[in-house]
Amino acid sequence: MRKDIREAQEKREAAGKGLCKASLIIGIVYAVLFLAFEVILFVTGIIPTKFLVLQLVVLLLLSALIVPMLILKKAKRKNKIVAIILAGLLGIVYIIGGAYLINTVGFLDEIFGDSETITYDIIAHEENPIDDESGLPGATIHTTTAADKDKYYGQALQTLAESYEVEFKSTDESFMDLCKDASKDKKVLVFVSDANYDIACDQNEAVDDNTKIVAKIKVEKKALAAKETDVTTKPFNILISGNDTKGEILDVARSDVNIIVSVNPVTKNILLTTVPRDYFVYVPQVGASDKLTHTGNFGVDCTAESLENLLGIDINYYVKVNFTCVTELVDAIGGIDVVSEYDFTTSGRFNNGYKFKKGVNHCNGKQALAFSRERHAFAAGDIQRAKDQQIVLSAIIEKCTHSSTVLTNYSDILDSVAKYLRTNMSSDDIKSLVKMQFSDMASWHIETNILEGTSQMAPCYSIPNLNVFSWIPSQASVTEGQARITSIFDGGDGTIPSDEQTGTDTTESTENQ
């Protein structure tokens, strides 16, 4: 009997010693996780100071209760078990919270972009014996003098000459004519930008069917420089430029979505001003007028400067996205609900005939992209497309700000869009906005506006020898757009009194490009 009692006592003592060792190790691990979490919080600089201090005080008090019970041998067994449970739960919070913060900072660093890539193509007939760069040495390549003002075209030519020892034959033909030459003559090699080659393929079926890309040359250029301001106390404009590509976000490409986001962080008012892709605007970089979408082929800085010239404003920052970003983001947040104004079916080679009903439609990524791209189904054409793009953007904002999906899929969301999004807004500015929002948790009022105009069929700078669809800006609409942006900057809500509105004029879009 005594032996049984002694053995039971020895087991309790052994278990007590084991618990003490385990709790000591847990206490050390807990202390390390706590210190690491606090360091990450302070270094990343995302959390407002008042919350930093509050959480530090609360966690220090909890730690002051937990740690002694973990490391002191005299602590009661029941207290140690409670302390182990609390330490485990808080440790999980430290690990997850720290990972979220580290991922956020990494994401902000990855999406910052101060450069873009211009790709140039060597084009040949499908039956040309040269299939890749190995056949280029000694070849003669036709170039256009129309690109003489483009310093990046010149840089690409120099790189091409140094890399492949080719000769050049300069002509006065436009890039469209050069591409046509390659589609007809099996011996001709021509040199044009990748963006212009895409336009030529869109405009001429023979170019699309009968030519191939033999080689590519890439040139880096500086993107739009930020016009920095205190984003927590002063109004600012952001250009959202949506490229019509599914490739690398660094590549220049036509800017099919152009939304100026005017933000007043003091009044919590936002105005979304959409400028249709086919707006016929003066382009300062080339000294001529072109469709707004084509300015993206010269870089996001060219698009921003053209819009600044049109509206008489400063654009402080840009956010550049492409089609893949939309599909990946919408899928990552579990889809969005869009409210359609019409029953319609999408068309085009990328839109896959999706059907939408008037009212609420739940969309995955591909459906949301198709919804935002469709224009042929509507009498208002590009105007309705601009409205639908704003609907998709608003739905994404709504889902991201009012859904637990963002928290549960946070890392996946960041990973899914990082490759397809670039901005020149610094991570410090973005952190300042986040901290401001955490501090006041204010709701924002969003207004929308779409610039309008009248249609025309005429040549433009990028397509000089062919009549293409474009919108001639309505001066009344532009003036109203200026007034509404000014309203945001002056402390208003982005609207103007009805007796001050100048009115707009519209014409149905029949664009076939």
Asked if residue 455 lies in contact with residue 507, where contact means CB atoms within 8 angstroms, the answer is: yes
Asked if residue 425 lies in contact with residue 226, where contact means CB atoms within 8 angstroms, the answer is: yes
Q: Is the pLDDT of residue 504 over 50?
A: no
More confident residue, 459 or 7: 459
Query: How far apart, in whole angstroms, are the C-alpha atoms of residue 454 and residue 363?
Result: 32
Among 107-116, 351-360, 433-442, the range scoring the smallest mean pLDDT is: 433-442
Q: Is the pLDDT of residue 505 over 70?
A: no
Tell me the pLDDT tens digit for each residue of 137-194. 999 999 998 777 788 998 999 999 888 889 999 998 889 999 999 999 999 999 999 9
- Please tell me which of 85-99, 238-252, 389-403 the model is most confident about, judged by mean pLDDT: 85-99
For a pLDDT cut of 90, what percent of the chain falls above it?
Answer: 59
Q: Is the pLDDT of residue 506 over 50?
A: no
Query: How far apart, in whole angstroms, are the C-alpha atoms of residue 440 and residue 442?
Result: 5
Tell me the pLDDT tens digit for each residue of 346-386. 987 656 789 999 999 999 999 999 999 898 899 888 889 88
Four-point Cα dihedral 239, 243, 249, 252, nearest 10: -90
Tell me the pLDDT tens digit for each residue of 10-23. 555 554 566 778 88
So what's the pLDDT on residue 86?
93
More confident residue, 20 or 130: 130
Tell me the pLDDT tens digit for each residue of 411-425. 778 888 888 899 999
Query: How far apart, in whole angstroms, are the C-alpha atoms of residue 418 and residue 85?
Result: 37
Tell me the pLDDT tens digit for each residue of 61-87. 999 999 998 888 777 888 888 999 999
Tell me the pLDDT tens digit for each residue of 223-273. 889 999 999 999 999 999 998 776 678 889 999 899 999 999 999 999 999
Asked if residue 478 lies in contact with residue 451, where contact means CB atoms within 8 angstroms, the answer is: yes
Query: How far apart, in whole angstroms, are the C-alpha atoms of residue 377 and residue 17?
Result: 76
For a pLDDT cut of 70, what percent of the chain falls above it?
Answer: 91
| Residue 227 CA: distances (Å) to CA of 109, 268, 315, 424, 433 | 19, 21, 7, 9, 16
Query: How far apart, in whole angstroms, are the C-alpha atoms of residue 445 and residue 397?
Result: 12
